């Protein structure tokens, strides 16, 4: 796996895992006010979720690189 391919793979994996990580520990607001949106989360904690997403993405990208490096999947250059 070349460096540009690794970077593009990481970016793709990062965006895909972002949707999974954002859904983790999302608890809806329990407010008595009828003006509040009931499904809105209480606190998103963006920094924590973005760091977690980056860590998960690095691990998945490394696993993909190891599978490619092992020869289980062959990639053809254009």
Tell me what the mean pLDDT of segment 54-78 comes to. 88
Indicate the pLDDT class of residue 57, thresholds 50, 70 and 90: very high
Per residue in 14-52, pLDDT (tens digit) is: 999 999 888 877 666 666 666 666 666 667 788 999 999
Report how far residue 17's alpha carbon sits from residue 60's, in angstroms, rounded to the nearest whole number: 9
Q: Where are the domains of the chain?
A: 1-22+41-78
| pLDDT value at residue 53 | 95
Q: Are 50 and 39 in contact (CB under 8 A)?
A: no
Q: How many CA atoms lie within 13 A of 17 on its CB side?
A: 19
Per residue in 12-24, pLDDT (tens digit) is: 999 999 998 888 7
Q: 6: closest CA among 72, 73, 57?
A: 57
């Amino acid at each position: 796996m070349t460096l540009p391919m690794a970077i593009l793979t990481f970016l793709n994996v990062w965006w895909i895992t972002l949707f999974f990580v954002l859904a983790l520990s999302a608890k809806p607001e329990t407010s008595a006010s009828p003006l509040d949106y009931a499904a809105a989360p209480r606190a998103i904690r963006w920094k924590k979720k973005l760091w977690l997403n980056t860590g998960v993405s690095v691990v998945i990208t490394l696993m993909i690189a190891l599978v490619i490096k092992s020869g289980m999947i062959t990639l053809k250059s254009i």
